[in-house]
């Protein structure tokens, strides 16, 4: 199912707010790069508690929208990146690192 503006409009505000934090807080963020819970909490503390943000991230992880790594980093999956792109109007750049060629 493609991510549409209708889907975004029906998405609970906490999810839109969390996901839109990624490109706003890290404008040069590459696709799949995450933010620490502490960063999200500092950004959204006026609207949501720590527990609300953590629970929302856990629910997104259960839906394969983000991965929570090392217990503190929230990293968008390809689906999460698609949703973020629809929210903010552009995709994050894909990280491109050329293959390493060892000396022969």
Nearest to 16 by CA among 94, 84, 85: 84
End-to-end CA distance of the chain: 47
Residue 100 has pLDDT above 70, yes or no: yes
3 vs 28: CA distance, rounded Å: 23
Tell me the pTM. Answer: 0.84
pLDDT tens sequence across 36-88: 999 999 999 999 999 999 999 999 999 999 999 999 999 999 999 999 999 98
The residue ranking higher by pLDDT, 96 or 73, is 73
Domain ranges of the chain: 5-88
CATH architecture, range 5-88: Orthogonal Bundle (1.10)
pLDDT of the residue at 96 = 64
Distance CA 98, CA 76 (A): 23
What is the pLDDT, as a whole number, of residue 51? Answer: 95
Residue 74 pairs in a beta bridge with 35, 68
Contact criterion met (CB below 8 Å) for 63 and 12: no
> CB of 86 within 8 A of CB of 10?
no
Least confident stretch, 18-22, 30-34, 45-49, 52-56: 30-34
């Amino acid at each position: 199912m493609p991510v549409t503006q209708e889907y975004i409009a029906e998405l609970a505000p906490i999810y839109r707010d969390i996901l839109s934090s990624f490109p706003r807080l890290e404008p040069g963020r590459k696709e799949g790069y995450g933010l620490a819970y502490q960063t999200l909490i500092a950004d959204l503390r006026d609207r949501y508690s720590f527990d609300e943000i953590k629970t929302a991230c856990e629910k997104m992880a259960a839906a394969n929208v983000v991965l929570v790594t090392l217990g503190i980093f929230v990293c968008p999956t390809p689906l999460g990146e698609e949703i973020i792109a629809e929210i903010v109007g552009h995709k994050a750049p894909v990280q491109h690192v050329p293959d390493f060629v060892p000396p022969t």
